[in-house]
Structure 1
Amino acid sequence: MSSTGQSESTNNFFNGWLPITTGLYSFVTKYEATLIEVYEQESAEDFALEHKYRQVGPHQALLKDAAKIYTKTMFHKLQDQFDQVVRFITIERYAEGNVRQLTVKAHSARAESFELQIDLEKLTGNCGCKLFEYVGLPCCYLLKVFSKYDILKIPKAFIMTR
């Protein structure tokens, strides 16, 4: 690196941390504090970068899409719903064209089941639990149906705007 480049690099590093008129004694005493501040700032930026985007497994395309759409709080609520999907099975009760009526019920002895209707062409539908209508997030039952029909992105009809 040329001496001009070294000088510019050094000036750029200390610019904003130490005034240019700082004497040698003051420089040595403030140098360590400056390095600690720079380290803390970089650590904060690394933390923000790591947590800005939600961590999602490589096989969870639906959650990857949700991570781009929802705020952090809403994403975590959706992730909680997504984690419950494995507890359920879907039973198709009626099909007419692209419209399906299904029952989603629990594997366990709990008598938990809900009726759903979904239009696979328009990607619209509703669930008997009404979570989407009340909270603005697709419920675990809808997510189970999305999984059954390989819907890999949250349909626009199930994204509630602020």
Structure 2
Amino acid sequence: TLYFRDIEDWRLLRIAEEEDRILLTRDLGLFRRARKRSIRTLFIEEPAIEKVLAYLSIKYGIRLDFNKEDTRCPECNAKLRYTTSLIDVADKVSSYIASKYREFWICPSCGKVYWQGRHWKTIEKIIEVAKYERGKLQARLRLREKPLSTTVKKSE
């Protein structure tokens, strides 16, 4: 997984091509340019992240669960190191965070530290709804017996 907030289209296309990545985009022009270059790409129209995750789970076999031993930094994409040692994070988090949480993920590349704070409940809810949406989509696909398209349409 790679995630870029600000990157020129040509660089994104080059990375997808050179590293044989699947390009997910809401930019129709970028989607069309990627298709012309035979880059595997998926155009996302659906605004609901839960439905997008459900679709990706089916189309690409992506698991909808959290593996604390195998997760990546949302800032730089490096693999995070899991730890329960307060010594590892003592100088990187506040004393309040250190006293409240016991599990941490440290990025060896950018140095950021993560824990399951308040936002974690929101993430868990999104994953649960995505699993539910995946079940609904799988049932509809069994009825249609058609493969998934290269576009995640609204309310698909």
> Higher strand share goes to which structure?
1
Structure with larger Rg: 1
Common fold by TM > 0.5 = no
Structure that is richer in helix per residue: 1
Higher relative contact order (CA 8 A, sep 6+): 2
- Give TM-score scaled by structure 2 length: 0.22
TM-score scaled by length of structure 1: 0.21
